[in-house]
A and B are shown apart, each in its own frame.
Chain A
Amino acid sequence: MKKVALYIHIPFCKQKCLYCDFPSFAGKEDFMPGYAVALAKELNSIKDKKIKTIFIGGGTPTYLSLKGWKIIQKSINRLELCDDLEFTVEGNPGTFTREKLIFLKNMGVNRISIGLQAFQDSLLKGMGRIHTIEDFKQSFFMARDIGFDNINVDLMFGLPKQTLKQWRETLENVTELNPEHLSCYSLIVEEGTEFYKRFEKGTLDLPGEELERTMYANTIDFLRGKGYIQYEISNFAKDNKQCRHNLVYWEMDEYIGCGAASHSYCDGFRYRNEENIEKYIEKMKTEVIGEEGLESEGLAIIEKTKNSLDDDMEEFMFMGLRKNIGISKSEFKQRFNKDIENVYRKVINKYTSTGFMKETEDNIYLTYEGIEVSNVIMAEFIL
């Protein structure tokens, strides 16, 4: 049976953060039970697949009501799971209760990802976060107390008004708690967000480019000193604690997405689900009588496209180059039955000769300088 990763999207948030352009919504709590039912139905449609990782992301999954979780749990229990399953749930401080965490632990969750972002209440407030540092600490210790031994903390740098000192303070304080994994994202001001509006108006006080780059360089150095190895542009882990689920995306392995706005990549096709919560629930209610009786597969899919060979090669390259280890030339050959030399040699030479990329016997990867301008390089891998 094919082994795949499973992503489950929970699009509810107590409040939308000012920088967030993800499919997440505040004030839709009334739809939680209906959503859980729809989601359960979609999960039940997964057939003939063995699940190697589960990632429940959001939104704020920990904001979902316990009632909702109970509905989903039934469907998860019906799945074929690998013995070494990595099972992550994302959450934000202020939405954790001991009861929910214990429930999750019992459901099989073995990894918790906590959104902290910064270690200064003033910065948190400025980003529209609903929690304080104190809330975070409580959540973190609660998770440890319940027995979670694999915890990720999400951080951000390049925030409005953020100083280098504050960022270093954040890194120091967080590493003090000794989480197994850290994600450090450089803030990107995305269209359609409150930050974007302020940016347009000129009222978003972002750190300068050089300062922001210093923050990034500091992050890598500091975390290395604390035993966290960078394995992707924004991700750092202690030994063997890399997030296997995210590696699936970067390595172009197969994954199934369930829930509103989720994406799947399976059997050479990419799928996209309905984004609107109400519409998603509505679509999942439809009953389709298929040849084998009741069938609900694909009800919420609004886009399905076959990846061409070129698509696959491009994605393999630009996703793979996000990883510090880069891509494997032999794997390229094995997957696509094509020699990477014939497809990409020119661009590889262009960037290895200028020091933005490095090449070993089997691997090609971006150097630190390359990572900083990776979009420029990756764009040249588009065929």
Chain B
Amino acid sequence: MQSNRQKYIRNFSIVAHIDHGKSTLADRLLEKTGTLTKREMEEQVLDNMDLERERGITIKSQPARLVYKRENGEEYIFNLIDTPGHVDFNYEVSRSLAACEGAVLVVDASQGIQAQTLANCYLAIDNNLDIAPVINKIDLPSARPDEVIKEIEDVIGIEAQDAPRISAKTGLNIEDVLETVVEKISPPSGDEEASLKALIFDSSYDSYKGVVCYVRVKDGKVKAGTKIKLMNTSKIYDVVEVGVFVPNYLPVTELRAGDVGYITASIKNVRDARVGDTVTEAARPALEPLKGYKPAIPMVFSGIYPIDGARYGELKEALERLQLNDAALGFEPETSIALGFGFRCGFLGLLHMEIIQERIEREFNLDIITTAPSVIYKVMKTSGELIEITNPTNLPEPTEISYMEEPIVKASIITPSEYLGSVMELCQLKRGLYIDMKYIETTRVVVNYELPLNEIVYDFFDALKSRTKGYASFDYELKGYVTANLVKLDILLKGEKVDALSMIVPEETASRRGRVMCEKLKEHIPRQMFEIPIQASINAKVIARETVKALRKDVLAKCYGGDISRKKKLLSKQKEGKKRMRQVGSVEVPQEAFMAILKVD
């Protein structure tokens, strides 16, 4: 039964393609509703990680409670749940959407629909959300709102004629967005008297409160003192505090059906309060948990090693700390002959990987080496055993392999039609299987391909960007596994195999890949005291070779007078440079070399 109270609640997310102005709009909504005064507000309040602000992306979802006073005096509670825009963080989007009744779809008035507009919008539609389209950036000279509205209607198939035309940057027509939220998005319709059912859509760790569960209450009520049960783990806790996001934590006496807020209950470990789990009352448990959404599955794996082997413990601690707030990050210890002790880490995608890498370096001040990303291969051994391989080094001998399967994705690429030929050529080159294509308008087309994921983690993004001058957008979802002809490509430095540089590659491109890898390594490995042969081999057969010549001269001929500071500065700089190097056998390999081999074309 819907209470009168719930009529005045709206729970929604904002979805958009990257850079279409989602976070700026969120800021304006906070400002307009007086949730934060301009003075209190740093730009893009909701992106509260440094990295997020720097890169202009949202990684973690962030909720905020807004109070909107309509002109007629009615007062509405808006719970805005910000979402990430990037494909890597789809699972974050879907968990945010599960807590909402609707989504504001922001589309850039000059760029129109892009790949992530579609992907995120379809996610929302799949979750039965009401969609309220908004046309942003109409202040730009290149804005073409009428055409973009038509695109939305044609391609997505939703009514968009009365979509607010706004500029989040200048604040133009922001009130129209608030109105459209009231009108287009349904209020919640939970039963306050029923047993408690609250969906955990996110969590974070607070050193004072312990785990803070971000919840959407579907039915029932919860307050401090309530004995709650997490339906998935069956664990029981006493609620210590409930509250709402303003956007900082603000304790309240009770959360009721329709509300978005947080619960703390002295939970020590984020893993005990799994995102997607349902919170219910221990005394009067709900019969069925809420439908959870699919958990995040790591798709890309790479090894992370401390440059200074002695800092292994610190790296472990850093990963553990990051994991507290990032359930999608997986890691387990592994050992490399070349790199020593480290961790095989699972990520949602390349961006996620880069972000974790950067956070480890910045927030924990650790120098690390990341090995080439790999995907999960399925290997059917001749013995009949099926194994999964995330680290190329662990691939069995060719004689033990019956066949191998690799993950493939369905990729959607939206590109200006002038680059269509080039995009299709690229997809073919990357072993893609054409599915279909459709013109969004006369000059833009969406083309769908099946592509092996390992081609995407290799250099697909960069290649697509360069072929389309950055105009194409791209999104993908995992589709399944297919058999493929794959081989392990090994790299030898000075005759010694460097396990951390091994890659699994398609047989047909293996020798070209090997050649290019040798060339790349030659570029990145500085000359040392001796000659360094670089070889690529497949099944112990050398297929390519390069040589880094020995260093012939690195000497300061003259020390000026008593000024030894210059000499010392030079030597200290050299020593710093050495820190970025990893001793592999007798060869010093700079950190960049491990990543550079990826950027091949």
Task: Give the total number of A-B pairs whose CB atoms are below 8 A apart.
Answer: 98
Contacts known (A318-B571, A375-B570, A375-B571); A7 close to B561, Cβ less than 8 A: yes
Contacts known (A354-B529, A379-B574, A382-B572); A372 close to B561, Cβ less than 8 A: no
Q: Which of B559, B561, B568 has the most CB of A within 10 A?
A: B561
Inside 8 A of A262's CB, which chain B residues have their CB? 561-562
Inside 8 A of A270's CB, which chain B residues have their CB? 564-565
State which of A28-36, A206-214, A283-291, A338-346 sits at the interface with chain B: A206-214
B287 lies within 8 A of chain A by Cβ: no
A272 touches B556 (CB 8 A): no
Contact indicator per residue, chain B 322-359, by CB within 8 Å of chain A (1) or not (0): 00000000000000000000000000000000000000
A146 lies within 8 A of chain B by Cβ: no
C-alpha gap A187/B558 in the complex (Å): 9
A150 lies within 8 A of chain B by Cβ: no
C-alpha gap A292/B551 in the complex (Å): 57
Question: A380's contact among B553, B564, B575, by CB below 8 Å, is which?
Answer: B575
C-alpha gap A67/B474 in the complex (Å): 79
Closest 10 CB pairs of A and B: A379-B574, A263-B562, A186-B557, A185-B557, A375-B554, A379-B571, A382-B575, A379-B575, A263-B563, A373-B554
Inside 8 A of A322's CB, which chain B residues have their CB? 559
Q: Which residue of B lies closest to A185 (CB)?
A: B557
B362 lies within 8 A of chain A by Cβ: no
C-alpha gap A249/B529 in the complex (Å): 28
Inside 8 A of A255's CB, which chain B residues have their CB? 562
B578 lies within 8 A of chain A by Cβ: yes
C-alpha gap A55/B558 in the complex (Å): 16
A17 to chain B, nearest CB (A): 13
C-alpha gap A257/B561 in the complex (Å): 9
Inside 8 A of B553's CB, which chain A residues have their CB? 186, 209, 212-213, 372-373
Contact indicator per residue, chain A 175-190, by CB within 8 Å of chain B (1) or not (0): 0000000000111100
Contact indicator per residue, chain A 1-29, by CB within 8 Å of chain B (1) or not (0): 00000010100000000000010000000
B562 touches A249 (CB 8 A): yes
Q: Which residue of B lies closest to A371 (CB)?
A: B555
Report 13 cross-chain contacts, Cβ distance below 8 Å, ordered by A residue. Answer: A209-B552, A233-B555, A249-B564, A263-B561, A270-B565, A272-B563, A272-B565, A315-B568, A318-B567, A354-B529, A371-B555, A375-B570, A379-B578
A95 lies within 8 A of chain B by Cβ: no
Among residues 195 to 243 in chain A, which have CB atoms less than 8 Å away from a CB atom of chain B? 209-210, 212-213, 233-234
Inside 8 A of A372's CB, which chain B residues have their CB? 552-555
Contact indicator per residue, chain A 252-280, by CB within 8 Å of chain B (1) or not (0): 00010100011111000010100000000
Question: A257's contact among B554, B558, B559, B562, by CB below 8 Å, is which?
Answer: B562
B503 to chain A, nearest CB (A): 31
B560 lies within 8 A of chain A by Cβ: yes
C-alpha gap A381/B574 in the complex (Å): 11
User: Using a Cβ–Cβ cut-off of 8 Å, how many residues does chain B contribute to the interface with A?
Assistant: 26
A97 lies within 8 A of chain B by Cβ: no
B554 touches A376 (CB 8 A): yes
Chain A's interface: helix, strand, loop or mixed, by majority?
A: mixed
B556 touches A264 (CB 8 A): no
Q: Which residue of B lies closest to A356 (CB)?
A: B529
B555 touches A375 (CB 8 A): yes
Q: Which residue of A lies closest to B561 (CB)?
A: A7
Contacts known (A315-B568, A318-B571); A9 close to B555, Cβ less than 8 A: no
Inside 8 A of B560's CB, which chain A residues have their CB? 22
Known A210-B552, A315-B568; 6 more pairs at CB < 8 Å: A55-B561, A188-B558, A319-B559, A319-B564, A356-B529, A375-B555
Q: Which residue of A lies closest to B577 (CB)?
A: A379
A328 to chain B, nearest CB (A): 19
C-alpha gap A143/B219 in the complex (Å): 104
Contact indicator per residue, chain A 348-383, by CB within 8 Å of chain B (1) or not (0): 000000101000000000000001111110111110
B555 touches A186 (CB 8 A): yes
A309 to chain B, nearest CB (A): 15
A80 lies within 8 A of chain B by Cβ: no
C-alpha gap A265/B563 in the complex (Å): 9
B551 touches A373 (CB 8 A): yes
C-alpha gap A139/B40 in the complex (Å): 77
Q: Which residue of B lies closest to A255 (CB)?
A: B562
Contact indicator per residue, chain A 279-306, by CB within 8 Å of chain B (1) or not (0): 0000000000000000000000000000
A351 to chain B, nearest CB (A): 9
Q: Which residue of A lies closest to B586 (CB)?
A: A354
A57 lies within 8 A of chain B by Cβ: yes
Among residues 30 to 60 in chain A, which have CB atoms less than 8 Å away from a CB atom of chain B? 55, 57
Inside 8 A of A380's CB, which chain B residues have their CB? 575, 578
C-alpha gap A286/B316 in the complex (Å): 59
B565 touches A188 (CB 8 A): no
A135 lies within 8 A of chain B by Cβ: no
Inside 8 A of B570's CB, which chain A residues have their CB? 375
A314 lies within 8 A of chain B by Cβ: yes
Contact indicator per residue, chain A 308-328, by CB within 8 Å of chain B (1) or not (0): 000000110011001000000
C-alpha gap A314/B574 in the complex (Å): 14
A250 to chain B, nearest CB (A): 8
Q: Which residue of A lies closest to B550 (CB)?
A: A373
Q: Which of B557, B560, B567, B574 has the most CB of A within 10 A?
A: B557
Question: B558's contact among A7, A185, A382, by CB below 8 Å, is which?
Answer: A185
C-alpha gap A345/B42 in the complex (Å): 54
A188 touches B556 (CB 8 A): yes
Q: Which residue of B lies closest to A381 (CB)?
A: B571
Inside 8 A of A233's CB, which chain B residues have their CB? 555-557
Among residues 12 to 65 in chain B, which have CB atoms less than 8 Å away from a CB atom of chain A? none
B528 to chain A, nearest CB (A): 8
B559 touches A249 (CB 8 A): yes
B84 to chain A, nearest CB (A): 44
A270 to chain B, nearest CB (A): 7
Q: Which of B530, B551, B571 has the most CB of A within 10 A?
A: B571
Inside 8 A of A314's CB, which chain B residues have their CB? 568
A9 touches B561 (CB 8 A): yes
B558 touches A234 (CB 8 A): yes
C-alpha gap A299/B19 in the complex (Å): 58
Contact indicator per residue, chain B 533-561, by CB within 8 Å of chain A (1) or not (0): 00000000000000000011111111111
B562 touches A265 (CB 8 A): yes
C-alpha gap A318/B572 in the complex (Å): 11
